[in-house]
Chain A
Amino acid sequence: MGVKDYFFNVKNTAVTIFEGMTVTFSHLLRRPITVQYPDKTPEPIENYIEDRFRGILEVDLQSCIGCLLCMKACPLNCIYIEVDRDPELGRVMTQFDIDEAKCMYCGLCTEACPTQTLRHTKEFELSTDDPDEMVLRFIEPGEKVPFYKPQKGVEPPRRPLGEILRKEIFPQLKKNREYRDKGREIIRQRVERWEDREKLIEFAKHIRKKAGSGDVKALTEVLIEIIGDADFSHQGYNFPKELATALATGKERVEMLDPMGWGSKYLKKDIKLALRIAKGQSVNDLVGFDLDSILKEIEPEPPKPATPKRPAARPAPKKPAPKKSESAKKTAEEKKPEPTEEKPEANAKKTKSVEEKPTPKKPEAEKPEEETGEEKK
């Protein structure tokens, strides 16, 4: 290293450090790029979010045709829709729940929606200490929402994106605690009744009254009541209704159930009790005392006339449609000779529609209006 290099090194060091200091000093005079998100944002947070952002799901029920495609498209079963028939309004939805705790924001449901009424909003702030609070209930219990009847050339009515969530859904999320507490109350009662004979007898009487006739529908209702909030998603039953139907129709055996959590061993006992009472079998070995003789005194309610009189133009496409209809048919033929006059027809139509449906599914997404028009016919 010569003298020249030596002094060059010194000069180089001094100059580069000087330059570096100017650069860092210039940063001191600039505004930081940090956005202090929850506290202070220069603009509303929506402005920072891209239009294609997949936020919390929102459904505008005034233009929902009740096709249940979203429910079927969801890989996680986080959408649950209950369809019913009303003598005045026709076919109505009585429940439309989206469990945002489960949702993985894949967007498959929004792609499936023919009227694009189910949409991803730009909302994303839904933090809570209780996942039960993240169930968005778009229909209040007891409320009935008729289906939207699409017309050609008329755009379905729309509210601004995210308005329903902000104004109607989010303020009511606290209510979900009530539902959760209801579920806990069911479990508490269940544990209590197996410790208290009086309550058990009362419960057995209740089952006998409702489902003693052996009617599958009545039994399903009772089973739904019993299952309550119990989680069987690990066994492939995402909704209590699914499990209840499977149990009532004999597709699932009680022994195979693997309930979890507090009081779960009583759940199996409850279900066994209900099933045996419905089939008219003895329950004495299950409860440990002579319950059969008590139950014999009670007259079970006669099964309701299942379907309404007016012919169903398009039967409600319920979830596991093909399987369920078949099984329902079977049981109906086996156990109930009286109302078979109408039911087989309806069931036949059901199966037909199920067979037909898959074929026009593909163009559906592309031409929603036409498809819905066809459906109307």
Chain B
Amino acid sequence: MEQMVLKLAEKWGLGPIGTQYLAILFMLIVALVVAAGFATIFAGAVTWVERRVAGRIQSRIGPNRVGPQGILQWLADGLKTFFKEDFIPPEGDQLLFKLSVYFPVIGFFAVFAVLPFSQKLVAADLNVGIFYAFSVTSFTVIGIVFAGWASNNKWSLLGGIRSVAQIISYEVPIALSALVPIMIAGSLSTQSIIGAQGGWPWQWFVFHNPFAFVAFFVFFISNLAEGNRIPFDLPEGESELVSGYSTEYSGFRYLLFYLVEWGNLYVMAALSTLLFFGGWRIPGVSLETMANSWFLQLFGLVIFWIKAFTFVFIIIQIRWTLPRVRIDQFMNMAWKYMIPFAFVTFLGTGIWLMFPHWFETLTQWVLFLIGLGILGIFFWRVKYTLDYIRAKVDLKFFI
């Protein structure tokens, strides 16, 4: 993008200040496209996807009235929420109440600066990309604590407190497990980490060594907790805390909280994809050939999205599979299981990197086959379940 700005500035004969303004304009356009054109629409549309999948999992249909197959349901919901009364609790902290919404939103949109869509399709390839991403996503917790406090409501406050406990606890395993691919790639930049992986599945970092394999699960589970997704949605906990920190919110502020929550689905999925699953790498295409072709760039985008949306789907499926964990189980899990495991994977990978190259290749293949085996067992169990209840397979999703 820098080159593009420079080229245009040369062409139009702009001075150094003009070039800067042009760069700022470019950034704004990119931010607008990413924020309005992708993140918001994704956050909205994925609610429809989730409700349809949830319906299917529960043997019902889900929203199918607004638009064809209910695909405009999210617009209707958003519009409805938008026109609700904007209520601010008079006893609460007015300023903080209004302010708290912006922190999650800032955090959410700021991550998109380093999230790549393809080799060239990235807003900023920072050399501290992953570090930046984790720092920025932590903004969410500030907003949630503010919201819980400013609402002057015990449920909200409990939700806020839980959120702090949750995010502080799970920041540690996230960072430690993310260190594994960073160590293997030797870089914090998102693009370099993807570049260090190959296009073929066995070249992905998740199959790099057994420790990385475990690290992925630690990372994924901790990410769920960080994003307040079930089974870790304790800050909201409908059955216990009404709606947690967002109890007192209504109208557009509420909408923004939920925009962040659903948008975070993509952030989680994209981070998992780029750290462990090869990002936008196309099998059998080197980085140089990819850099010279627009078509391959778009193909990379498609590959990235396929992987990311698979993760989104898995996160949704987890939500409709598992019940919410209790707060003590939850803290146990963080401090007694996740953090030790993350440390072990971190150390183990460090040791593994000292082994010769042929050994790495061997373990990659073995782990890839193990991964395939797990996938095979999964589908075999699915088939077993279907046969056990003599259910017919029906793949018509739009009925």
Contacts and interface: CB of A to CB of B under 8 A. Distances in A.
Interface stretch (B54-62, B128-136, B178-186, B236-244): B54-62
B321 A32 contact: no
Contacts of B53: 28
Nearest to A19: B381
Contact of A22 (B56, B378, B396): B378
Contacts of B353: none
Contacts of A18: 378, 381
Interface string A24-46: 11111111111010001000000
B394 interface: yes
A21 B320 CA distance: 9
A24 B386 CA distance: 11
A24 B320 contact: yes
A21 B59 contact: no
A10 interface: yes
Given A10-B337, A24-B317, A36-B61, A30 B391 contact: yes
B385 interface: yes
Contact of A32 (B59, B336, B381, B386): B59
Contacts of A20: 321-322
B382 interface: yes
Interface of A: 6, 9-10, 17-34, 36, 40
B57 A28 contact: yes
A366 to B, nearest CB: 47
B317 A31 contact: no
Contacts of B322: 17, 20
B392 interface: yes
7 contacts: A21-B318, A21-B378, A26-B386, A26-B391, A27-B59, A30-B393, A33-B60
B321 A17 contact: yes
Contacts of B385: 22-23, 26
A78 B322 CA distance: 53
B395 interface: yes
Contacts of B59: 27, 30, 32-34
Interface of B: 53, 55-61, 64, 317-318, 320-322, 336-337, 378, 381-382, 384-386, 391-396, 399
Contact of A29 (B61, B318, B386, B399): B386
B392 A24 contact: no
A21 B61 contact: no
B391 A32 contact: no
Q: Which 6 A-B pairs have the closest CB atoms?
A: A31-B394, A22-B381, A26-B385, A24-B321, A20-B321, A34-B60
A26 B320 CA distance: 13
B317 A21 contact: yes
B382 A26 contact: yes
A22 B393 CA distance: 14
A173 to B, nearest CB: 28
Nearest to A9: B337
Given A17-B321, A28-B56, A32-B60, A22 B382 contact: yes
B352 to A, nearest CB: 21
Contacts of A24: 57, 317, 320-321
A231 to B, nearest CB: 39
Contact of B395 (A10, A26, A29, A33): A29
Contacts of B61: 32, 34, 36
A256 to B, nearest CB: 51
A9 B341 CA distance: 13
B317 to A, nearest CB: 6
A23 B60 CA distance: 15
A24 B396 CA distance: 17
B170 to A, nearest CB: 16
The CB with the most chain A CB atoms within 10 A, among B318, B385, B391, is that of B385
